[in-house]
Structure 1
Amino acid sequence: MKYDLIKRRRVDVAALLMAAAIIGTGCGQTPVGSTTETNNAEEITATSDESNNEQQDTANEDDNNEASNIEESAEEETEAEEAEEEKNDEENDDSAEESEEEELPALKDSVEKTMGCRFGCAITGQEPWDLSVWDIVTKHFNCVTLGNELKPDSLFGYSNGKCPGTEEAELNGETITVPVLTFKNPEKILDKILKWNETHPDQALQVRGHVLLWHSQTPEWFFHEDYDKEKPYVTAEEMDKRQEWYIKSVLEHFVGEDSKYKDLFYGWDVVNEAISDSTGTYRTDTERPDEDLSEDTHGGNSSWWHVYQNESFIINAFKYANKYAPESLELYYNDYNECNAKKRSGILKLLEAVKAEEGAPGEGTRLTAMGMQGHYSVSGPSTAEFETSVKAYGEAVGNIQITEWDLSASDSYDSSDPASVEAEYEKNRKQYNLLYYVLKSAQKAGTAKVTGMTFWGTIDKYSWLQFRSNVGGGNKSGQSQCPLLFDSKYEPKPSFWVFAETDSE
């Protein structure tokens, strides 16, 4: 298809100070092994918050016959669609010129017809107040993930160095001392969504909660006596109370019976990135030898593990979430590098352990779906690796979701060279096309039920991959990136049309 013939009305907007709008990796590892730098969030600067800075494994095995067949089928399908679209372009050359913005198909509608699942994006910081971004979000997506605002450090007021203060709380008939929570950061965006939904019920947005338990972006003082990181770690028994109180407080505030936000949320990431890249087993307190546990927050090492020395806190998190979440709220495990064979094996064991403890609220766990973050590159994973992973997680849990989808650029990409940009956009389109084809095939075959696809951002220039973060992930080399469906000028890229097409069957 001649993508240069696809024109759209450009929206002129004043340049915003959008450091704050950059998505904290929510959880994913940068595919080509980048790191990011957490800035002062009180100044609304963005955090790319991924858990460690090891390179995403994009080394692919030689394509086997099955992978080749997938690629050929996907490309044949695309070529047929492109030929039909070029024919339509020629037929419509003499038609009255309309606004390109109006001509663009709404991606959420196309995906609904093809996959029957949610279609979302991540937003954070000031992005919702960039009117052109908001137009993209509300036209093309039906759900959003808040990139940083619902993480523990945000709900503790970004007081990572020192506890912001304490108060008394009741838990299971006992009075305990707890740190003060603040909900103003997420509520600013949630209130905007509520207002939008009230005035645009036909374009209503839902929200994915992200995240309750994570080794990263959780202040170190939370694990110590008197919430003072200079004092000893608390016991596992004491940490159980803190964990249950935190999950109870967050869920009751946002999805409790009296919460004005209760109808916004469709699901919540309960545990995030608990499996090690290096060992393929549980993430411990020594994942990164160069990182000291005394630091305010961690990119790789887990203070949760340091307190428990086992995975019981993971099981407990799902039990507490099941206890305090309404039955309608979906509960997820979420991780990156999930197509790497060694790590996939570890994730599957975690899922098995959580499923083994399933039970009624207050008694057991509940796990709705596996969140495959999808921080990939234009060269990997291979279709064979991706298909194997989708099938494995589908067999383990039933439902899967792509939760933080983006594609890092090839090493040769030069954003200042038009020819390089065109070539890179085509690589980006082809990889999205191949992976989407695998998802469509799995959905049709019943090997996995895909219940959601979410991209980690909206337009390229606000992607977390453009920046660095000291908690892992993001851009290490300073190379410009083009990972999403819309370019930095709010225009759809060739990859947009991968998801705009609907199955002809």
Structure 2
Amino acid sequence: MKSSKITALILCFCLMLSMTACRSDNSTENKTNSNKSASGSAVTENKKTSHDVSDVDGPALKDLYAKYFMMGAAINGSDKSTAAIHHEGMANILKKHYNSTTLSNLMKPCYLLDEKACVKKGKKNANATDVSLNFDSCKESLDFCKENGIKMRGHTLVWHNQTPEWFFKKNYDAKKGYVSKKVMAKRMENYIKGVLEYCKKNYPGVVYCFDVVNECVDDGTGDDSVNWNCRTTFNGGDNFWYATMGTDYVEKAFTYARKYAEKGMKLIYNDYNVYVPAKEQNIYNLVKGLKEKNLIDGIGLQPTVDLYNPDELKGDSYDSFENCLKKYAELNVDIQITELSFKIDEETGERDEKSLKRQADRYQEMFELLKKMDTASGGPCNITSVTVFGICDDYPLYDDLVQCLYLWDKNAKPKESFYRVREVGESK
């Protein structure tokens, strides 16, 4: 009797340890400081409610638009455990409707750079250029794409945001001074080499393009010694790339990417406010210069639009999205729509019938425009992919995020916006 009681106590204790471990496995760490990506408090356990998007009648979006461009949706999440592939509904939507995706966070430098390993090298050499990487954050998503025949847009190699300050400093120590331009160029090269060779070796043909440089054209006062107004600051501090390498950092990044990229991978410059006339011209100038040196294959356009701005997506107004597409088409490069969404007030999350209808109208207008402008319809633009920058509203893997941006609601049920996009795809 005494022996059986002891056995029962041991079993009870083991069960408690097991439950504690499960709770621990679901903890997350938010490394991102981007305000454009899904972020919030992670749910305490993976939500595995049944979501079968096959109950949505009609063909997949990727099939409807196959003649024109690849259809993409971003895998949001600020930690590998909260990536969209871990939510059954969002994973099913990706598999059925999309042939392209991108990681909104998990492939950025702050996730891939292995600080502990780099610091160890930096202690031996203040000007160390060896770069240690850890792909744990993105491996599961890359595996998901490989297994399900989905291509991935790499996002992003060189950006002034979400790249840690220590990477630019002596000894890999944020408290030290900047390294020289020569040392930083070598660190950049080794970083780009490491990322691209990892993709080439482990996921051949999966990562079909990469945002090599992100958002380096300044909206206001930048370095106008070049004809594209290079960004010099960020959030009141330095643009670390500019501080160490000057305006040359952009061309250097594309040079290294061209050197190490898998054959056929497209190299992209990605930016926002692309239809604002002054910035539009600067982006045009930058891409034109890179194309003349055979360093770039395409331009990624973040529409940065909402329910009412700009007033016109179509039409001839000076800041219409249609006019910006015509302008960039003159460069004769691939055009990709990279971070598309139409937001309803994110703070209140108010979703009245009028706002939801307006959102659906805007999605319809955008996809009508993109079909019209694509070369498959006789238009001037070689549009190769269109990516909605998320899948479900109110990101289902977080408890407290309020967002109304996308084609599916929090329960992975299609919204009116989804049906409008599908109707445009079905129309002749």
TM-score between both structures, scaled by the size of structure 2? 0.78
Once the two structures are superposed, the pairs formed by residues 324-343 of structure 1 within 5 Å of their partners are: 324-343=260-279
- For the Cα contact (< 8 Å) 2:38–2:395, is it kept in 1? no
Map 1:371-410; keep pairs closer than 5 Å.
371-381=300-310, 382-383=312-313, 384=315, 385-409=320-344
Give the C-alpha shift of residue 193 in structure 1: 3.1
For 1:134, the equivalent position in structure 2 comes to 91
Task: Tell me the residue number matched to 1:123.
Answer: 75
Paired with 2:142 and 2:209, the residues of 1 have a C-alpha distance of 15
Cα deviation, residue 229, structure 1 = 2.1
Following TM superposition, by how much is the alpha carbon of 1:177 offset from its aligned partner in structure 2, in angstroms? 3.9
User: Cα 1:245–1:412, aligned 2, differ >3 Å: closer, same or farther?
Assistant: closer
Contact 1:165-1:179 at 8 Å conserved across structures: no
The 2-side partners of 1:239 and 1:39 are apart by 34
Which runs of structure 2 are paired with 1:245-260 in the superposition (5 Å)?
245-255=190-200, 259-260=201-202
Asked if the contact 2:395/2:403 (under 8 Å) is kept, the reply is no
Contact kept, 8 Å, 2:101 with 2:151, in 1: the verdict is yes
Q: Deviations over 1:62-102 (max 9, x none)?
A: xxxxxxxxxxxxxxxxxxxxxxxxxxxxxxxxxxxx99715
2:212–2:254 Cα contact (<8 Å) kept? yes
3-state DSSP class of the match of 1:180? coil
Structure 2: distance between partners of 1:192 and 1:500: 25
Residue correspondence of structure 1 range 97-496 to structure 2 within 5 A: 101-113=55-67, 115=68, 117-124=69-76, 125=80, 126=82, 127-157=84-114, 159=115, 163-166=118-121, 177-194=129-146, 196-197=147-148, 204-255=149-200, 259-279=201-221, 281-288=228-235, 291-292=236-237, 301-309=238-246, 311-358=247-294, 365=295, 367-381=296-310, 382-383=312-313, 384=315, 385-409=320-344, 415=350, 420-443=351-374, 444-462=377-395, 480-496=402-418
Change beyond 3 A, Cα 1:193–1:403? same
**Amino acid of the residue matched to residue 356 of structure 1?**
E
Instruction: Check the 8 A contact 2:346/2:403 in 1, yes or no.
Output: no
Q: Distance in 2 between matches of 1:481 and 1:458?
A: 11
8 Å CA contact 1:22–1:463 kept in 2: the answer is no
The answer on whether the counterparts of 2:185 and 2:245 sit within 8 Å (CA) in structure 1 is no
Structure 1: which amino acid aligns with 2:282?
G
Percent of aligned pairs with the same residue? 31
CA-CA distance at 1:183 after TM superposition: 1.3
Q: CA deviation at 1:38?
A: 7.6
CA shift in 2, pair 1:375/1:304, >3 Å: same
Contact between 2:41 and 2:399, CA under 8 Å: does it hold in 1?
no
Structure-2 change in CA distance of 1:489 and 1:269 (3 Å): same
Query: What SS does the corresponding residue of 1:145 show, helix, strand or coil?
Result: strand
Give the root-mean-square deviation of aligned CA atoms.
3.5
Distance 1:130 1:37 in 2: 14
Match of 1:10 in 2: none
Q: In structure 2, the residue corresponding to 1:498 is in which secondary structure?
A: helix
Q: Any stretches of 5+ residues in structure 2 without a counterpart?
A: 1-24, 46-51, 223-227
Alpha-carbon spacing, 1:137–1:413, altered in 2? closer, same or farther (3 Å): same
Aligned positions, number: 375
Q: Cα deviations across residues 324-351 of structure 1 (Å, max 9, x unaligned)?
A: 1122111100011111112112211111
Q: Report how far residue 482 of structure 1 moved.
A: 1.4
The within-5 A match list for 1:6-25 is none
Distance (whole Å) between structure 1 residues aligned to residue 348 and residue 40 of structure 2: 27
The structure-2 alpha-carbon separation of the partners of 1:245 and 1:334, relative to structure 1 and needing over 3 Å to count, comes to: same
* 1:356 to partner: Cα distance: 2.5
- Structure 1: distance between partners of 2:349 and 2:73: 26
